[in-house]
Amino acid sequence: MVYDFHLKFEGEIFMADAYMAKKEDKFSFGLWTVGNIGRDPFGDPTRKPIPPTRIVKNLSRLGAWGINLHDNDLVPIDATPKGRNQIVRDFKKALEDHDMVVPMATTNTFTHPVFRDGGFTSNDPKVRAYGLQKIMRSIDLGAELGAKIYVFWGGREGAECNVAKDPVEAIKRYRDGINYLCRYVRDQKYGMKFALEAKPNEPRADMYFPTTGHYLAFIETLDDPKMVGVNPEVAHEHMAGLNFHHGVAQALESGKLFHIDLNDQRFGRYDQDFRFGSEDYKSAFLLVKLLEEKKYRGPKHFDAHAFRTEDEKGVWHFAEGCMRTYNILKEKVRCFQKDPEIQGILAEIAGQNPEFEKHLGKYSRKKAQALKRIRFDIDGMAKKGLGFERLDQLLTELMLGIR
Ligand code: DIG
Ligand code: MN
Ligand code: MN
């Protein structure tokens, strides 16, 4: 690939070609993603923290559009009101200077030990009350920065000792918390929507609402379900052993895909939050194909971080890689849609037995009686192969770059 020109900063060369991120791609990163300092449960940090204003500048130079944050990614939990306001002023200036927006905000209700047994679902009403206070203040911060999507990831909402908490009571407490905050946002006229993010485990042994499907069911039990959607994350659904783009399809189909956390993850592992598309190219292709074909126009947030092995330059290559891979896969989707052999097979699949469509769809007594009279030759129907091997091989060859 001959690059039109190179983007040079931080002493590094970044690729500036047809796949480089542009603002209209609506790629976003959380402060905590490129700001990840490489600490893990078995090792100390390998990187120094990057100041939020520098994150804003460099992500913008790489073509990113938005920056997301937990309250304490920007404002220390013990900041004074004066200190908080100065930090917010400086951050707002950096956003303006570098043409970046804050599409989404969220609260850190998982780091401080006070949340060791959860926020919303804690057995201690004092902790639940503090959690509501912290989230309201964080929502205020998000609103001040222009965020229109507010994410809830219940990092500590779960259990190790399952007899210590009634799981039904835990669900009721979570619902009370979300209902309360929906009313708060309406009261404040912030015009925000909520996006609930599932994860099956880690840091808790088992987390409540472990998958996006659990949240889709939960949302319908809320006082104000229209205001609440989901924020599925690749890594979290993979941790649960699920097909990610199927879950996203269900969220899209029900109008509940309010946000999405893109990264990558090997099945059966802890939450790896790898660079988007770096592990499972085929799943990433299927996801990009779904989002592009269904015209998802929300933020594309990379909730991921660089390998612990990297220095800051590696962090920027990580960020560049997330966005480039999305755009490269978008190009692969275009090739798939234009490939005559692939499209020929798909047309054949779509065009089977059109005369039977009239028996499907909405019920009527007349249709049911007519359908019950039909004699189906099911052995004859099962004889012809479906040609999926050829189709899947064509996809493989397209992904491997020989089509
Ligand atoms: C982790 O996957 C979670 C938290 O980082 C945050 O609350 C949420 C926002 O995308 N993702
Ligand atoms: Mn994750
Ligand atoms: Mn996430």
> What pLDDT, in 10s, does the model give residues 297-323?
999 999 999 999 999 999 999 999 999
Report pLDDT for 148.
Answer: 98
Question: What pLDDT is attached to residue 6?
Answer: 55
Contacts for 135-140 with beta carbons within 8 Å, 24 or more apart? 135/107, 135/109, 135/177, 135/181, 136/181, 136/184, 137/71, 138/70, 138/71, 138/105, 138/106, 138/107, 138/108, 139/105, 139/107, 139/181, 139/184, 139/185, 139/188, 139/190, 139/192, 140/188
For ligand 1, whether the C-beta of 261 sits within 6 Å is yes
Distance, in Å, from the CA atom of 104 to the CA atom of 126, rounded to the nearest integer, reads: 28
- Whose C-alpha lies nearest to ligand 1, atom 4? 153
Question: For ligand 1, is residue 197 a contact (CB within 6 Å)?
Answer: yes
Residue 4 has pLDDT above 50, yes or no: no
What was the pLDDT predicted at 240? 97
- Look at residue 62 in the predicted model and tell me its pLDDT: 94
Give the mean model confidence (pLDDT) for residues 208-218: 98
Structural domains of the chain in order of their starting residue, each with its CATH number: 17-338 (3.20.20.150), 340-399 (no CATH)
Residue range 100-146, pLDDT digits in tens: 999 999 999 999 999 999 999 999 999 999 999 999 999 999 999 99
35 CA from centroid of ligand 1 (Å): 13
Regarding the beta carbon of 303 and ligand 1, being less than 6 Å apart is answered yes
> Which contacts (CB < 8 Å, 24+ apart) does range 314-318 have?
315/34, 315/36, 315/47, 315/50, 316/10, 316/12, 316/14, 316/34, 316/58, 316/62, 317/12, 317/14, 318/34, 318/275
Q: Is the pLDDT of residue 14 over 90?
A: no
For the chain, what is the mean pLDDT?
A: 96
pLDDT (0 to 100) of residue 11:
66
Q: How far apart are CA 345 and CA 341, in angstroms?
A: 6
Q: For residue 259, which ligand has an atom nearest its CA?
A: 1
Least confident of 2-6, 186-190, 360-364: 2-6
Residue 219 C-alpha to ligand 2 middle, in angstroms?
21
Q: Tell me the ligand closest to 111's alpha carbon.
A: 1
pLDDT tens digits along 19-64: 999 999 999 999 999 999 999 999 999 999 999 999 999 999 999 9
Question: Cα–Cα distance between 146 and 91 in angstroms, integer?
Answer: 12
| Ligand 1 atom with the shortest distance to the CA of 303 | 10
User: Residues near 269 by Cβ (< 8 Å), separated by ≥ 6?
Assistant: 239
Q: How far is the CA of 80 from the centre of ligand 1 (A)?
A: 25
Residue 27 DSSP SS3 = strand
pLDDT at 5 (0 to 100): 43
pTM for this one? 0.96
pLDDT for residue 2 is more than 50 = no
**Active site residue ranges:** 70, 73
> Given the CA of residue 108, which atom of ligand 1 is nearest to it?
7
CA angle 232, 50, 94 (to 5 degrees): 85
